[in-house]
């Protein structure tokens, strides 16, 4: 059962919006674009596990996507967490192409052609998650329960090599195709319940209550002013900017794409990067439309929550609602 379903975290949407909206010559453009691509790839890797996990017995396992919990050392984040009455499973997901080698120095090395890149060892990473989760659970005086952890490589083109001959690596590190059989293996190992149903529900509530989503605050982090953002509606086909509004629809002057709803993504970008409140004047400036009446109709069409009257009216932007409705 998916208790905390797969949804794309807001900080990823924010970074992607900034990567597209930042003026081309900005010194941080390349870095932000690369970071946005990396965190999107990470989410895509996690999302690819949704299908195999859907085959688990519905009432036997409680599945949480993206749990971020505060502790005495800050926050620790778990890509996927699976609870049962018999054991807990932490899943760290890696979506990396090419060849990944675990060497005798404890490194995780990616080789692509003649280039080698060193990554932090995911086994050390998941071991630390295990320790922090264990300490956090102990605060609630639950009975002891086994906590297992695995690292899942989700990309089908990844080649895994264990040059260190460390026997723990193949036990913890698997490919996506082995996920269900690994969970079945753990279920066979832990046949005696450690929790009853009430305790499992209590832990579920504690996890959901403790979860604190990451805030990118990318504009502030990179020192970017609103004036450095590109205004206008981005073409959904070729990503050119801006589209023109005429005769009740948006038209891209570069590829000819036409849309009646392309402004929704632009308003979502404004909500992610600038403010979750927008008035008619600010919307006209950001969408590059002169007509106050036209913008009022567009804002009203999206059924945005609002407050205030006449010229003082502000609309409340919900980026996820605009992007995925």
B/e letters for 195-231, b = 16+ CB within 10 Å, e = fewer, are beeebbeebbebbeeebeeeebebbeebebeeebbee
Predicted local distance difference test score (pLDDT) of residue 182: 98
**Banded model confidence at residue 309, pLDDT cuts 50, 70, 90:** confident
Burial (CB < 10 A; 0-12, 13-18, 19+), residue 30, is: exposed
Verify that 64 and 180 share a domain, yes or no.
Answer: yes
Same domain, 31 and 102: yes
User: What is the phi/psi pair of residue 64, to 5°?
Assistant: -120, 125
What is the predicted pLDDT for the residue at 305?
Answer: 93
Are 142 and 95 contained in the same domain?
yes
Summarize pLDDT for 267-302 with one digit per residue, the tens: 999 999 999 999 999 999 999 999 999 999 999 999
Q: 247 and 290 in one domain?
A: yes
Q: Which of 118-122, 243-247, 308-312 has the highest mean pLDDT?
A: 243-247
**Domain identity same for 243 and 167:** no
Q: What is the mean pLDDT of residues 220-248?
A: 95
Q: Are residues 186 and 244 in the same domain?
A: no
3-state secondary structure of 317: coil
Question: 161 and 280 share a domain?
Answer: no
- Asked if residue 287 belongs to a domain, the reply is yes
Evaluate whether residue 63 is within a structural domain.
yes
Rounded distance between C-alpha atoms, residue 295 and residue 12, angstroms: 28
Do 22 and 162 reside in the same domain of the chain? yes
Provide the residue range defining the domain that includes 111. 2-210
Rounded mean pLDDT, 104-130: 90
Is residue 53 located within the same domain as residue 199? yes
The reply to whether 220 falls in a domain is no
User: What percent of the chain shows pLDDT beyond 90?
Assistant: 88
> How far is CA 284 from its chain centroid?
30
- What is the predicted pLDDT for the residue at 325? 76
3-state SS, residue 107:
coil
Give Cβ neighbours of residue 290 (< 8 Å, ≥ 6 apart).
Answer: 284
> Is 216 within the bounds of a domain?
no
Per-residue pLDDT of 241-264, as tens digits, reads 999 999 999 999 999 999 999 999
Mean pLDDT over 54-76 rounds to 97
Q: Residues 130, 118: contact at Cβ < 8 Å?
A: no
Q: What is the pLDDT of residues 272-281, one digit of tens each?
A: 999 999 999 9
Predicted confidence (pLDDT) at residue 240 exceeds the cutoff of 90: yes
Q: Are residues 200 and 270 in the same domain?
A: no
> How many domains does the structure of the chain reveal?
2
Of residues 92, 43, 83, 45, the one with CA closest to residue 64: 83
Q: Which residue's structure tokens are 């403010």?
A: 275
**163 in the same domain as 43:** yes
Same structural domain, 91 and 185: yes
pLDDT score of 255: 97
DSSP 150-161: EEEE--TT-EEE
Nearest Cα neighbor of 52 from 201, 186, 184 is 184
- Please report which residue ranges of the chain form alpha helices under DSSP H: 10-21, 29-47, 50-53, 122-138, 169-172, 179-189, 197-210, 218-221, 263-273, 280-287, 292-301, 319-324
């Amino acid at each position: 059962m998916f208790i905390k379903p797969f949804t794309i975290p807001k900080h990823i949407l924010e970074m992607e919006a900034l990567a597209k909206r930042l003026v081309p010559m900005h010194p941080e453009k390349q870095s932000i674009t690369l970071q946005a691509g990396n965190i999107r790839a990470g989410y895509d890797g996690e999302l690819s596990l949704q299908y195999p996990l859907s085959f688990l017995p519905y009432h036997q396992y409680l599945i949480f996507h993206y749990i971020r919990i505060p502790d005495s050392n800050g926050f620790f984040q778990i890509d996927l967490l699976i609870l049962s009455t018999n054991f807990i499973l932490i899943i760290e997901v890696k979506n990396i192409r090419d060849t990944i080698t675990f060497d005798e120095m404890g490194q995780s090395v990616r080789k692509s052609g003649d280039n080698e890149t060193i990554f932090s060892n995911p086994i050390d990473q998941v071991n630390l998650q295990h320790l922090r989760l264990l300490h956090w659970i102990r605060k609630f005086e639950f009975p002891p329960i086994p906590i297992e952890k695995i690292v899942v490589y989700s990309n089908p083109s990844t080649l895994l090599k264990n040059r260190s001959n460390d026997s723990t690596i193949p036990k913890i590190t698997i490919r996506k195709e082995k996920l269900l059989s690994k969970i079945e293996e753990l279920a066979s190992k832990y046949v005696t319940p450690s929790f009853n149903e009430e305790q499992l529900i209590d832990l579920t509530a504690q996890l959901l209550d403790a979860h604190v989503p990451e805030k990118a605050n990318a504009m502030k982090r990179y020192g970017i002013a609103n004036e450095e953002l590109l205004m206008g509606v981005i073409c959904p086909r070729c990503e050119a900017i801006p589209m023109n509004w005429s005769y009740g629809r948006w038209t891209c002057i570069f590829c000819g794409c036409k849309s009646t709803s392309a402004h929704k993504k632009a308003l979502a970008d404004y909500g992610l990067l600038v403010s979750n409140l927008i008035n008619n004047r600010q919307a006209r400036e950001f969408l590059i439309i002169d007509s106050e009446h036209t913008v009022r109709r567009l804002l009203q069409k999206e059924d945005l929550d609002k407050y205030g009257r006449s010229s003082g009216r502000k609309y409340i932007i919900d980026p996820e609602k605009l992007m995925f409705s």
